[in-house]
Amino acid sequence: MKDLHQFLISPLAAAQQHGPNDRIVMSSRVRLARNLRDASFPGWAKKPERVKILETILPAICALPEMSDSFAEAMDNLTALDKQILVERHLISREHAAKNVGSGIVLNREESFCVMINEEDHLRMQALRPGFQIREAWNAIDQLDSALEKKLNYAFDNELGYLTACPTNLGTGIRVSAMLHLPGLVLAEQINPIIQSVNKLGLAVRGLYGEGTEALGNVFQVSNQMTLGESETVIVERLEKVLGQIIEHEENARQSLMEKKPKTVFNHIGRAYGILANAHSISSKETMNLLSLLRLGIDLNLFPGTPRALVDELLLVTQPAHLQKQISDKLSAEERDLLRADMVRERLKNVSRPLTK
């Protein structure tokens, strides 16, 4: 068995991946839901059937050239900590992390593809790209899916399209999503009207870890909701258009904040720096919210010479499971808060106070 932690790219390397518009769009993702024709969906199948499905799908994926160098494992072979790390990397869903016997994961070396087996559907395949690249992600996953359909017998209906466990995913089985960092819109108190208008277009806005989670660190996920009655390209194009507009609104909000309320912006960023650079105990939630402001400060050139990757790496390594992984002893939440503060102070040692222009 491969060691997950030797396989995963380092948090720094992950933070250094660049893509178009990554100031605001942290990452893009397209996932497709697929199921096998003659099998019950994972939530209804009994354990032996799920195991059989896993044993059918796993080798089929590993045989694809794109997935030849990959981490492929049954979920019951992963520790709770490993699974949590995969969640914190946004490679698997929280729901999938709760799975054991009969579920699996295949992740390629570049971490551009990650397939969940027997999550809610038999197959949840995702293409991941840094920055604003949803079209590229769709093209990539489309190819992977076309290669896989030659090996597996998909459940497909002429009228209803790809059949999925939940009727909300029926048809194309596609979810196109982007993770957006929107501190400007939050500070300018424009985020709620934006969310409402995006909802009106039939798109969902969610928090950092998907369904039912809060928007920690001013990070929002925007994705399509409807999957039937429109083609994949139409859905991708609509998302592209809406995301383009959100990016523009965020840029405008930042600019007008700097023109009209520079003191408010300096105050938020200065305080965030003050706490992060001097705290001796800090929760994961507070860290994320303050790092978001630091990230904004870097975007606004208030920390000359400090790369955005410093913040993006910290956003990852200060998460509970990543923190726990660095220490062999089991830590309590309080101990983690001390350790987290030590780590953040150390990393910010050479970052000077923010400019005030």
Task: Please state, as a whole number, how many other Cβ atoms lie within 10 Å of the Cβ of residue 3.
Answer: 9
Among candidate residues 27, 199, 210, 14, the one with its CA nearest the CA of residue 124: 210
> Residue 159 interacts with another protein (CB under 8 A)?
yes
> Residue 200 interacts with another protein (CB under 8 A)?
yes
Please check whether residue 164 is in contact with residue 180, taking contact to mean a CB–CB distance below 8 angstroms. Answer: no
Please check whether residue 127 is in contact with residue 30, taking contact to mean a CB–CB distance below 8 angstroms. Answer: yes
**If 0-12 CB within 10 Å is exposed, 13-18 middle and 19+ buried, where does residue 180 land?**
buried
Count of residues that bind another protein according to CB under 8 A: 55
Please check whether residue 262 is in contact with residue 195, taking contact to mean a CB–CB distance below 8 angstroms. Answer: no
> Residue 76 interacts with another protein (CB under 8 A)?
no
> Residue 241 interacts with another protein (CB under 8 A)?
no
> Residue 48 interacts with another protein (CB under 8 A)?
no
The shares of helix, strand and coil residues in the chain, as percent rounded to the nearest 5, are 50, 15, 35
Nearer to another protein, 66 or 142 (CB): 142
Site for another protein in 96-125 (CB under 8 A): 120
Residue 122 CA, distance from chain mean position: 21
Nearest approach, Cβ of 56 to another protein (angstroms)?
15
> Residue 44 interacts with another protein (CB under 8 A)?
yes
> Residue 43 interacts with another protein (CB under 8 A)?
yes
Q: Which of 19, 207, 270, 320 binds another protein (CB under 8 A)?
A: 207
Geometric angle at alpha carbon 298, from 256 and 301, rounded to 5°: 65
> Residue 156 interacts with another protein (CB under 8 A)?
yes
> Residue 230 interacts with another protein (CB under 8 A)?
yes
Q: Which residues, in sequence order, are bridge partners of residue 113?
A: 127
Nearer to another protein, 130 or 217 (CB): 217
Q: What value does the CA radius of gyration of the chain take, rounded to a whole number of Å?
A: 21
The stretch among 19-27, 38-46, 55-63, 314-322 that binds another protein (CB under 8 A) is 38-46
> Residue 143 interacts with another protein (CB under 8 A)?
no
> Residue 192 interacts with another protein (CB under 8 A)?
yes
Nearer to another protein, 107 or 170 (CB): 170
> Residue 142 interacts with another protein (CB under 8 A)?
yes
Nearer to another protein, 216 or 314 (CB): 216
Geometric angle at alpha carbon 112, from 288 and 151, rounded to 5°: 140
> Residue 12 interacts with another protein (CB under 8 A)?
no
Nearer to another protein, 3 or 159 (CB): 159
Spell out the residues 6+ positions from residue 339 whose beta carbon is closer than 8 angstroms to its own. 323, 327, 331
Task: Please state, as a whole number, how many other Cβ atoms lie within 10 Å of the Cβ of residue 135.
Answer: 17
> Residue 154 interacts with another protein (CB under 8 A)?
yes
The stretch among 18-26, 214-222, 288-296, 304-312 that binds another protein (CB under 8 A) is 214-222
Task: Please state, as a whole number, how many other Cβ atoms lie within 10 Å of the Cβ of residue 311.
Answer: 26
**If 0-12 CB within 10 Å is exposed, 13-18 middle and 19+ buried, where does residue 329 land?**
exposed
Which residue ranges make up the site for another protein (CB under 8 A)? 35, 37, 39-41, 43-44, 120, 142, 145-146, 149-150, 154-163, 165-168, 170-172, 174, 192, 195-196, 199-200, 202, 204-207, 211-215, 220, 225-232
